Amino acid sequence: MIDRDTEIMAKTIYGEARGEGAEGMEAVACVIMNRFRARKWFTGYRKVCGIKIPDVAATCLKPKQFSCWNKNDPNYRLLQKVDAATPLFADCLRLAEKALSGKLEDFTNNATFYHTKAVRPSWSAHKSPCYETGNHLFYNDIE
């Protein structure tokens, strides 16, 4: 059985970067872990006995963090159906396990944000990407 953090992180990687190849998917995994570790406003929490515990799955699912989890995003429906029998998702599961075990080196220069080259979000105005791969630009200086 797949634990919740691994499943949700793998689905986030799949939903956000499945068309970006291994490097793009690893870069998104780095962003997820960087957000989780940063403990800023984008870190998600679950409650255990009334105590808030930082949680990777909750970080991925936190509203407005990763567009694939927005109910109006076309990827959302895909994430409800994908499972380990899908070869690319199986790769995402292995990548999530690697990241969660601390074996994925962060090559994104501590990026916590990214977007595709097709859009220019207001938060990226006057900012320079710290990493670029495929169709994504990554940033580490967004407050």
CB 111 within 8 A of CB 140: yes
Decide the pairing of beta strands 113-116 and 136-139: antiparallel
- Please give the structure tokens belonging to residue 98: 């690697």
Angstrom distance (rounded) from CA 97 to CA 32: 13
Which one-letter DSSP state was computed for residue 66? S
Q: Is the pLDDT of residue 55 over 90?
A: no
Q: What is the pLDDT of residue 42?
A: 67
Angstrom distance (rounded) from CA 115 to CA 16: 10
Q: What pTM value is reported for the model?
A: 0.93
Torsion 52-58-61-65 (CA) sign: positive
Domain residue extents for the chain: 4-105
Q: What is the pLDDT of residue 52?
A: 78
User: When comparing pLDDT for 109 and 64, which is higher?
Assistant: 109
